[in-house]
Structures are given as structure tokens and as C-alpha cells.
């Protein structure tokens, strides 16, 4: 996915500087990954290019993987926040569709990140594993939609279907980057919206039962 069209609260000077440092580390790391390869780039290389001490990197990121997948973490965190704060009567699917509608097409950094991952099979596996965090977030929200008991398996099954849709779409974008049949951001979002509309129908039927 790409960066989110959100309007964060105004930050103080100290917070802005910290954010700028974090963004700079992530940016130069991504450039080095693309230029030298992910495995060949060290944290020392990143620190030197970002003009920070190596220990500074650990104030913002736990590892090289964390730097590369930072957008995935932001995506999960923002989605969970919106689901937790959704107005009464708004379903998980409604919130998810609204969330996706504000996602912009991949920018230069997102395209670069995708190329780095495409070139490294191990990184693609780690990215897929990170999608596993999406399923429990969705399942918790769907359980609220249904008023489900703790042992009700339906929220898990619906969440698994939604997660599979995201994972399959991400894989499809990766294949296109590797030379497969092209797919635009707009085409991908339209397909996801169709899948979510289908799932919403099933969820509404369960709510009526």
C-alpha cells in the first residue's frame, strides 16, 4: 500500500525534529538498499549516509527490516485507530473502504521500496508475514459488528478473507513490478472495493440473523 492521506496534529519543535530525523534515516536507507542491495547495506552505512550516530538509528528503528517495513507498521496502526474510533453504526467494511479511498498512488519512495522487496525473496516473505497482524485487527472489529461471543469463529473467517484479499493484491502489484502484467493503483483499488462490497453483503446478512 502507499502513504496515507491523513492530517496529523501539529507537532512541537522537538517532535518535528525527531520526525525529520526518522524520515531522513528511512529515506537514505531506502536509497542505499536500492543501490547496494538490502543484505549488503549495513546499519553503519545508513548512519554515515544519514549523518547520525549508529546508536541514533536504534532510537527510531529496531533493525534494517523495521526501516524497510515502517510504512506497513504505519498502515496497521492508522487502520486500527480508525476502527477503534469509528462512529456507532459504522461497520468494519465501511471504515475500511473509507480508509482505502484516501490512500494515494505509490509515491517515489513507495515504488523504490517495492523494487527492493521484489529483488529479495526473503523480504517478500517478511512482508507477507507482517500482513498477519492485519487479521486479528479486523477480527476484533468484525466481532463488534456481529456482537459475537468469544468462541464465535465467524469474525476470524471474515477477517481471513479480507486479509487474503489484501495479500493477493499486494502480491499482484509485486508481480507487475517484476515484469508481470501491469496493474495500476486505480485498478487495484477498484478490485479491492468490489471484494469488500461482496463481503459487506455477507456481513450484513449475518447481522440480520
Yes or no: say if 185 and 128 are a contact pair by the CB < 8 Å rule.
no
Triad 166, 167, 173: Cα angle to 5°: 90
The domain in which residue 19 lies consists of 13-64
Whether 4 is in a domain gets the answer: no
Q: Residue 47: how many CA atoms within 13 Å on its side-chain side?
A: 14
Query: Based on C-alpha coordinates, what's the Rg of the chain?
Result: 19
Query: What confidence tier does 82 reach under pLDDT thresholds 50, 70, 90?
Result: very high
- Average pLDDT of the residues in 7-25: 79
Please tell me the total count of domains within the chain: 2
107 & 201 share domain: yes
pLDDT of the residue at 110: 77
169 & 73 share domain: yes
Could you give the CA distance from residue 139 to residue 73 in angstroms, rounded to a whole number? 18
Q: Provide the CATH number for the domain around residue 34.
A: 1.10.10.60
38 & 107 share domain: no
Whether 183 is in a domain gets the answer: yes
75 & 162 share domain: yes
Whether 6 is in a domain gets the answer: no
112 & 199 share domain: yes
Closest CA to 91 of 166, 137, 146: 146
Yes or no: say if 24 and 126 are a contact pair by the CB < 8 Å rule.
no
Where a domain ends, among 64, 89, 104? 64
118 & 31 share domain: no
Q: Residue 61: how many CA atoms within 13 Å on its side-chain side?
A: 25
59 & 74 share domain: no
Query: What confidence tier does 177 reach under pLDDT thresholds 50, 70, 90?
Result: low
56 & 73 share domain: no
pLDDT of the residue at 153: 93
Whether 3 is in a domain gets the answer: no
Q: Provide the CATH number for the domain around residue 200.
A: 1.10.357.10
Residue whose entry in the numeric block shows the C-alpha cell 504505519: 74
60 & 70 share domain: no
60 & 153 share domain: no
Closest CA to 48 of 69, 71, 24, 67: 24
Could you give the CA distance from residue 61 to residue 179 in angstroms, rounded to a whole number? 32
46 & 79 share domain: no
Q: What dihedral angle (degrees, nearest 10) is formed by the CA atoms of 62, 66, 71, 75?
A: -70
Summarised one tens digit per residue, pLDDT across range 35-59 is: 999 999 999 999 999 999 999 999 9
109 & 175 share domain: yes
Give all strands (DSSP E) within 100-166, no chain letters.
none
Whether 77 is in a domain gets the answer: yes
Whether 122 is in a domain gets the answer: yes
Q: What is the pTM of this model?
A: 0.70
Amino acid at each position: 500500500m502507499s502513504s496515507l492521506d491523513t492530517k496529523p496534529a501539529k507537532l512541537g519543535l522537538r517532535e518535528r525534529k525527531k520526525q525529520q530525523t526518522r524520515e531522513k534515516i528511512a529515506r537514505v536507507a531506502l536509497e542505499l538498499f536500492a543501490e547496494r542491495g538490502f543484505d549488503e547495506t549495513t546499519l553503519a552505512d545508513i548512519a554515515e549516509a544519514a549523518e547520525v550516530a549508529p546508536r541514533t538509528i536504534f532510537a527510531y528503528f529496531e533493525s534494517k527490516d523495521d526501516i524497510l517495513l515502517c510504512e506497513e507498521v504505519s498502515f496497521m496502526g492508522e487502520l486500527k485507530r480508525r476502527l477503534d474510533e469509528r462512529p456507532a453504526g459504522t461497520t468494519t467494511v465501511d471504515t475500511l473502504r473509507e480508509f482505502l479511498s484516501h490512500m494515494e498512488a505509490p509515491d517515489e519512495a513507495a515504488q523504490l521500496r517495492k523494487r527492493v522487496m521484489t529483488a529479495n525473496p526473503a523480504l517478500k516473505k517478511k512482508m507477507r508475514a507482517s500482513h498477519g497482524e492485519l487479521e486479528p485487527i479486523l477480527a476484533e472489529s468484525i466481532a463488534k459488528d456481529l456482537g459475537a461471543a468469544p468462541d464465535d469463529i465467524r469474525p476470524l473467517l471474515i477477517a481471513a478473507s479480507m486479509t487474503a484479499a489484501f495479500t493477493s493484491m499486494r502480491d499482484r502489484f509485486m508481480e507487475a513490478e517484476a515484469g508481470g502484467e501491469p496493474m495500476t493503483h486505480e485498478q487495484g483499488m477498484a478490485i479491492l472495493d468490489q471484494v469488500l462490497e461482496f463481503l459487506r453483503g455477507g456481513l450484513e446478512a449475518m447481522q440480520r440473523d
